Amino acid sequence: MAKKYWLLKSEPDCFSFTDLMQAPDRTTYWDGVRNYQARNFLRDEIKVGDQVLYYHSGGPSPHIAGLAQVVRAGYPDHTAFVPAADHFDPKSSPDDPTWYMVDIQAQEELPRPLPLSELREVPALQDMVLLQRSRLSVQPVTADEWRAILAQAKRPR
DNA sequence: GCCAACGTTGGC
DNA sequence: GCCAACGTTGGC
């Protein structure tokens, strides 16, 4: 299976790319996804070695902050089993988990953060899921889009 | 803070 | 199974 590309959204106040860089082994589990389409990607399609764009949503200038890779493929999101947890879901149980997560490891910051407003100006990205007003927190990215984003980040502005 | 987009819930 | 109401996301 060829390596695939994904975009993961996080609110930087919640868990930023810097937080990930400073985490033990620069790795965290990506918990809390409670959307079925995103769950399906996490459970079925995201594999070890896949590449990840780390996107900061919210704030005055939402942007892609850095690059990460998948270091563990989909497994049950245990935070759904904990009544006191933010994303507790009584429908999900260890015997029949509803929600899944993956582990990601930070690789590097982009040479500069790429704001959403700039991504909208790149012709190669016009069909990117992120730019279609998508609320999905886990989105597929094509190889062409990945290349265009890295190229854009290397270009000074 | 507003509001559009969109997913989920629940009555019928 | 339809669809209105409601809640959430997230850009602006």
Among A24-33, A96-105, A128-137, the least confident range: A128-137
- pLDDT attached to residue A133: 78
pTM of the model: 0.93
Range of weakest confidence among A23-27, A75-79, A131-135: A131-135
Residue A74 CB closer than 7 angstroms to strand C?
no
User: Residue A26 is encoded by which pair of tokens?
Assistant: 């620069």
Show me where the domains of chain A are located: 5-154
Q: Which residue bears the tokens 């007003």?
A: A133
Is domain A5-154 given the CATH code 3.40.50.620 in the classification? no
User: How many C-beta neighbours within 10 Å does residue A2 have?
Assistant: 7
DSSP A81-104: G-TTSTT--TT-BTTB---EEEEE
Nucleotides of chain C touched by protein CB (<7 A):
8-12
Alpha helices in chain A (DSSP H): 17-22, 36-40, 116-119, 143-154
Q: For residue range A71-118, what is the model confidence (pLDDT) as tens digits?
A: 999 999 999 988 888 888 888 888 889 999 999 999 999 999 999 999
Q: Is the CB of A11 under 7 A from strand C?
A: yes
- The C1' atom of B9 and the CA atom of A21 lie apart, in whole Å, by 39
Q: What are A75's strand-pairing partners? A: A101
Dihedral sign for Cα atoms in the order A83, A88, A92, A97? negative
A58: nt with nearest C1' to CA: C10
